[in-house]
């Protein structure tokens, strides 16, 4: 390619997916339409993990290290949000049951050594004949948005080269049923968030890590959420993600007052925000699709209700807001994938938080509008938009509330410590 051609290629802007991405989109959509959606009501009512559906996802290599590695490694960054949107279009609860493992995987990938990545990430998924799930444990009863308030402790026993963890984790997706748990703990409480570290633990091989109370949730009920209890839980020194030398150096810098590059919890959340936004998009689009078809076939006063501007304008606004949110999600995903293009990902204006905030808000609003379009039917469990509305609500709460996202964005654009 000539210099002129290279320059032209660099200045081209496109909003379409390439052939590979379109093929993956169709593949996931078929799985969502034919396997996930027909099972959605059943598993929402059961409020239990749909192991059979996770197994089906493993059988087609959607739920596997190899399958997700190909999705993640896309240099455009768009394949992952496309997959998430299609899967969660099928059903958010089952979608979270399948994708909940990836939060722990992201933490291991982002903070672990090469050896730790090679050992632990495959174990997060298990095998097709023995499927496993993983859990990321950060929140606690007294610390959600305020990650600096984490009280779970990790103390190093030099005699045995072990870490001893004590504490209670809350709101852990797959907590207690997972083999692999990534646990955020404080090794130096005086440093607050800068004194945190991440530990990878196999529940099947480690004593004194147990499931606490299972959470009965408003939505995402097919996804298991529970407390995780650690009572003098001993793990080998090798369980510390990144290794002790790296931790000691970071703690030393913190005590000297050197500027921090982040902490174990926030690093994982920041990387996952565009993905979470894509999940919310899937829910919003599902509600829009259903409401659109309903409005075209439901008749009142002798004509389809979409003939009324009050209904048609709602649908127009829904479509516009969903598409606008998708552009923010795709932009953030493209920026985050810079690492695969030899670039350093940098969200100068908290673009990841913008994507998650907008998509979460749109999902809650759009599913509410869908319920309104369906009228009384939308309020019943006989129609799926009621479940979609329940599922959407968490997207303004978890992985950073809407208020926290606005705080992150305002700090980024102002350069000031907004409180």
DSSP string, 214-239: EP--SS-TTS-EEEEEEEEEEEEGGG
In 3-state terms, what secondary structure has residue 154?
strand
- Return left, alpha or beta for 232; rule: phi > 0 is left, psi -120 to 50 is alpha, else beta: left
In 3-state terms, what secondary structure has residue 9?
helix
Q: What are the two backbone dihedrals, phi and then psi, of residue 236, each rounded to the nearest 5 degrees? A: -65, 160
In 3-state terms, what secondary structure has residue 152?
coil
Catalytic residue from among 270, 321, 386, 399: 399
CA–CA separation, 141 vs 401, rounded Å? 16
**399 included as an active-site residue:** yes
Return the half-sphere exposure (C-beta side, CA atoms, 13 A cut-off) of residue 196: 28
Which H or E run includes 368?
helix 351-374
For residue 199, the Cα-to-chain-centroid distance in whole angstroms is 19
What residue ranges in 78-224 does DSSP mark as E strands?
A: 126-127, 130-131, 134-137, 153-157, 162-173, 180-186, 196-202, 209-214
Cβ–Cβ under 8 Å, residues 28 and 62: yes
Q: Is 209 exposed, middle or buried (0-12, 13-18, 19+ CB in 10 A)?
A: buried
- Residue 347: which residues within 8 A CB-CB, separation 6 or more? 270, 332, 335, 336, 353, 412
| Catalytic (active-site) positions | 399
């Amino acid at each position: 390619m000539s210099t002129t051609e290279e320059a032209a290629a660099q200045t081209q802007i496109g909003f379409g997916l390439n052939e590979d991405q379109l093929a993956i989109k169709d593949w996931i959509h078929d799985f969502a339409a034919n396997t996930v959606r027909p099972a959605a009501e059943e598993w929402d009512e059961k409020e239990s993990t749909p192991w059979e559906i996770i197994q089906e996802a493993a059988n087609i290599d959607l739920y596997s290290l190899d399958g997700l590695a190909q999705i993640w490694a896309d240099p455009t960054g768009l394949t992952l949000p496309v997959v998430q949107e299609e899967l969660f279009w099928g059903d958010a609860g089952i979608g979270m049951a399948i994708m909940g493992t990836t939060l722990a995987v992201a933490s291991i990938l982002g903070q672990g050594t090469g050896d730790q990545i090679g050992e632990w990430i495959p174990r997060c998924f298990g095998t097709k004949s023995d499927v496993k799930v993983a859990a990321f444990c950060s929140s606690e009863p007294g610390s959600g948005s305020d990650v600096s308030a984490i009280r779970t402790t990790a103390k190093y026993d030099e005699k045995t080269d072990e870490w001893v963890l004590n504490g209670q984790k809350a709101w852990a997706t797959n907590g207690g049923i997972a083999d692999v748990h990534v646990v955020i703990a404080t090794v130096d409480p005086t440093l607050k968030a800068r004194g945190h570290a991440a530990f990878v633990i196999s529940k099947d091989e480690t004593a004194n890590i147990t499931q606490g109370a299972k959470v009965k949730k408003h939505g995402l009920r097919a996804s298991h959420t529970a407390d995780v209890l650690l009572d003098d839980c001993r793990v080998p020194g090798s369980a510390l993600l990144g290794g002790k030398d790296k931790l000691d150096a970071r703690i030393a810098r913190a005590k000297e007052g050197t500027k921090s590059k982040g902490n174990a919890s926030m690093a994982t959340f920041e990387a996952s925000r565009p993905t979470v936004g894509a999940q919310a998009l899937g829910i919003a689009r599902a509600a829009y699709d259903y409401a659109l078809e309903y409005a075209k076939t439901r008749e009142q006063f002798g004509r389809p209700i979409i003939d009324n501007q009050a209904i048609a304008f709602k649908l127009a606004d829904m479509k516009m807001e969903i598409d606008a949110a998708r552009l923010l999600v795709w932009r953030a995903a493209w920026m985050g994938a810079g690492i695969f293009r030899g670039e350093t990902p940098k969200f100068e204006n908290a673009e990841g938080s913008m994507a998650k905030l907008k998509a979460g808000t749109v999902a809650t609003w759009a599913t509410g509008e869908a319920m309104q379009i369906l009228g009384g039917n939308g309020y019943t469990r006989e129609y799926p938009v009621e479940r979609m509305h329940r599922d959407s609500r968490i997207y303004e709460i978890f992985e950073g509330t809407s208020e926290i996202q606005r705080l992150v964005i305002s700090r980024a654009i102002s350069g000031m410590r907004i409180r």
